[in-house]
Structure 1
Amino acid sequence: MKKIISTLLFLVISTVFVWAQGTAQIYFEKTTHDFGIFYEDHPKVTCKFKFTNTGDGPLVIHQAIASCGCTVPKYPKEPIRPGETGEITVTYDGTGKFPGHFRKTVTLRTNAKDEITRLIIEGDMQPANARVE
């Protein structure tokens, strides 16, 4: 009987603790970035996606997965408190890729109300000899 009561008490306390923490919500200023035209003699381009935790609980980004090995996301590993901001840095490396248009995604998995968020980058890498000066 003591085990049942202590188990129930543990579950109630755990539930209250989780409820008291609130729910995180991630809000991005923008979820897409267009690099426009850049040239293969400078094939690395980087952008930043700024976000705010608009929820009332800490935001944790569990994963940031790119759709291709040529795209590398960097994200904060520590929890983002309610009202605080952060940023995801995404670098596309077109080294060894054929010139042309690309579109890549970065899928974020978080503890926010909407667990999955997708960020999109795109651009148009041109041959170095196509540069107009």
Structure 2
Amino acid sequence: MKFVYLFAALLGFTACISDEESKAAAQGGTDSATVLNDSANYTTVQWSDSIQNLGTVREGEKLEVVFKMKNTGTKPLVVQSVAASCGCTVPSKPEEPVMPGAEAAIKAVFDSQGRSGTNHKTITVVTNTIGNQNHVLEFNVEVIGSKEGPKATNIQPVKTGI
């Protein structure tokens, strides 16, 4: 009887493995970790705007940044991960591979709260690309005052001596 339970469990396990392999094959390849480690699956990418100057925003505003890319190779482009240089920037990536000739974007939301002054932020994107798999995207933004305007302080005016 124990043999029957063991056989059923083993059969269920192998069915799950086969199902995962079938899904990967239907999506045009294997999982992203395999693609990133197999140079036969590498492709090329073209960034239309990897450095952006976003001008000026008021402190407290949230700003969306979009970095456009195009798969210029012959294999699907897989974006494994995106990471921002600071917690004030939250990036997102395409979840599906970008097919050859297709375009996609890396998006990020920058929260300017508490970030007065000049801000230079970076986002590192890891892909299955020939040569360098790490791509650094950059944006600059000047954050001024808060939405309410400058806060009143107890400052006495300075006399000029006239």
Scaled to the shorter chain, the TM-score interval is 0.7 to 0.9
Match of 2:83 in 1: 65
Greater RCO, 1 or 2 (C-alpha within 8 Å, sep 6+) = 1
Match of 1:117 in 2: 135
Percent of residue pairs bearing the same amino acid type: 30
Matched-pair contact (CA < 8 Å) for 1:109–1:117? yes
Matched-pair contact (CA < 8 Å) for 1:40–1:99? yes
Query: Which of 145, 159, 162 is equivalent to 1:127?
Result: 145
Match of 1:55 in 2: 73
Which string of whole-angstrom CA distances, capped at 9 and with x for unpartnered residues, describes residues 55-114 of structure 1?
11111000101000100111101111110110111111012x141111010000111112
Amino acid of the residue matched to residue 69 of structure 2?
F
How far has the Cα of 1:34 moved from its partner?
Answer: 1.4
**CA distance in structure 1 between the partners assigned to 2:41 and 2:80 by the alignment:** 18
Matched pairs, number: 110
Find runs of 4+ consecutive structure 1 residues off by over 6 angstroms: none
Which string of whole-angstrom CA distances, capped at 9 and with x for unpartnered residues, describes residues 2-22 of structure 1?
xxxxxxxxxxxxxxxx68x65
Match of 1:80 in 2: 98
Matched-pair contact (CA < 8 Å) for 2:58–2:112? no
* 2:40 paired with 1:40: no
**CA distance in structure 2 between the partners assigned to 1:64 and 1:23 by the alignment:** 18
How far has the Cα of 1:24 moved from its partner?
Answer: 1.2
Runs (5+) with no aligned partner, structure 2: 1-37, 151-162
Residues 92 and 115 of structure 1: is their aligned pair in 2 closer, same or farther, counting only changes over 3 Å?
A: same
Instruction: With the length of structure 2 as denominator, give the TM-score of the two structures.
Output: 0.63
Matched-pair contact (CA < 8 Å) for 1:22–1:55? no
Runs (5+) with no aligned partner, structure 1: 1-17
Instruction: With the length of structure 1 as denominator, give the TM-score of the two structures.
Output: 0.76
Amino acid of the residue matched to residue 24 of structure 1?
T
How far has the Cα of 1:23 moved from its partner?
Answer: 3.0
RMSD: 1.7
